[in-house]
Structure 1
Amino acid sequence: MKIVITMMIMMMMMVVVVVGSNGAAVSCGDVVNALIPCGSYLIGEGVDKPSGACCRSAKGLNKMVATVTMRRQLCECMEQTGPSFGVVPKRASGLPAYCKLHIEIPISLHTNCSRIK
């Protein structure tokens, strides 16, 4: 299972950077790389809560998406890649509470990323 996850992460690292209208960009590779420490928690692989390293990475990612364009890019990336990595939606939506994150992106399978502010 870890080999499959590693291969998927490597493939996602090759995703082209999406550039927003204001020049700010977040790549799916950046997002996936930041969430690597959260992998076991997000896919439900034997852990009940995220690790300290996961929370630190998630907080760093949250700081990285400082503009509306970047938050929308993050949302779109998570919607596109989450299912392919086997992310459990309930675990993803619980990450902000566990890590005490104040995020402006709703975590749901039905988020309209274009409405994020």
Structure 2
Amino acid sequence: YFSTENMATNKFDVVFSYCGDNIKEFILLLPYNKSLEMYELNDQKIQYLTAPNINIHKMSLSNITIEKSNLSYGYYFSCVLSNISCFESDLSNTIFSNGEINNLFIKKSNIFGASFTNTRIKNLLCEDIM
């Protein structure tokens, strides 16, 4: 992982790279009043990610598996989520707004207070949710 700040745009360029399977937890802490700006994230298995209050705009996420992670109080604006599986994670009070969701599977996760505003949803399956 490395991060550089572009002073002209006041944005951070972040690159994550990891080879192996021994990582136990990754905590993403963003500077106050900063948002994560990526264009797409594909074919990922995410485990033990702690990223509450994450703010994601206009991003395409596809073929993502999320396990045992804390993504509570997140805000996803104008995002396209396709083929997302979420297991044993906290998505409470998360807002999905003005986006599109295709094939979302949530199991043994907390979605209390989550909202979907102006979001087109196709194939949502929930099991053992809180």
TM-score, length of structure 1 as denominator length = 0.30
Q: Larger strand proportion, structure 1 or 2?
A: 2
Greater length-normalized contact order (CA 8 Å, ≥ 6 residues apart): 1
Flag the structure with larger Rg.
Answer: 2
TM-score, length of structure 2 as denominator length = 0.28
